[in-house]
Amino acid sequence: MTLQMASSTHTQPEVWGRNKMPYTEFILLMIIVDDDDSKIWSLYDAGPRNIRCPLIFLPPVSGTADVFFRQILALTGWGYRVIAVHLFGASLGGFLAQKFAEYTHKSPRVHSLILCNSFSDTSIFNQTWTANSFWLMPSFMLKKIVLGNFSSGPVDPMMADAIDFMVDRLESLGQSELASRLTLNCQNSYVEPHKIRDIPVTIMDVFDQSALSTEAKEEMYKLYPNARRAHLKTGGNFPYLCRSAEVNLYVQIHLLQFHGTKYAAIDPSMVSAEELEVQKGSLSIGQEEQ
């Protein structure tokens, strides 16, 4: 495998602008991971360049690198570098984060995990027998499979906007990208927890309807009995979009434990201001729950 990189500095992408987000700058990296240039990874790097241990976000099956724009814009504003030691994974992204930590346990590359609506065993989807056939299916059929997990009932305006955004991102994916993601999502595989038991974990999930079953959530709790739990009353499949303030707060709380260490993901000069924001956010959420 070869790695070639091209980078450029941009303001926020057009798709972010539709959400009326403030101006920011970031570096878009296009990483070629195959000899024939057919496989390219897109990576947004934002925040202070002096931070050596950034926070990396991994998207779900239907997402692309920019689905975490609300986290990138907010966290970089507080002094975090977002792009490897802290991993935030949603759904399939969370499963892959666990597997990466598992595979590198003898020479650790991951210092902590934030798992959002994620899972530890692909058998929960009951599609392991179809995993090898996704490559033969046309793009529209693969998209239909993914859309089948999206909420179809009445939702609030913010959740509706999040679903629309993810449908737009899904439409941008080609057949080979979708087939490979669904194969990873459904082929027989599971996490070996004993290999990553020393990694700090926060499990983030929602109480309303999502693609993750109650059984899958309970399995995650059993797998990581010492993990911090971040529960959101609502948020559906995409809380990082429609409940971004709460998600961002839980990310900050998770990363507080690394302040003052070489694993800090934040610029030290920004710590006091960031801690104040966390306190304000905690107070706000506490008042809403009363």
**Which of 18-22, 32-36, 63-67 ranks highest by mean pLDDT?**
63-67
State the burial class of residue 181 (Cβ atoms within 10 Å of its Cβ: 0-12, 13-18, 19+): buried
DSSP string for residues in 116-171: ES--SBGGGGS-GGGGGGGGGS-HHHHHHHHHTTS--S---HHHHHHHHHHHHHHH
What is the b/e burial string over 239-266, where b = at least 16 CB atoms within 10 angstroms of the residue's CB? bbbbbbebbbbbbbebbeebeeeebbbb
Q: Does domain 4-289 sit in CATH 3.40.50.1820?
A: yes
Rounded CA-CA distance 62/141 in Å is 14
- The CA distance from 98 to 58, in Å, is 11
Average pLDDT, integer, range 35-50: 74
Helix, strand and coil percent figures for the chain, each rounded to 5: 45, 20, 40
pLDDT confidence tier of residue 25, bands split at 50, 70 and 90: low
Q: Answer yes or no: pTM beyond 0.85.
A: no
- What is the predicted pLDDT for the residue at 46? 83
What would the pLDDT profile of 164-216 be if each residue is shown by its tens digit? 999 999 999 999 989 999 999 999 999 999 999 899 999 999 999 888 899 99
Q: For 112-164, how does the pLDDT look when each residue is reduced to its tens digit (9 = 90+)? A: 999 999 999 998 888 878 888 999 999 999 999 999 888 778 889 999 999 99
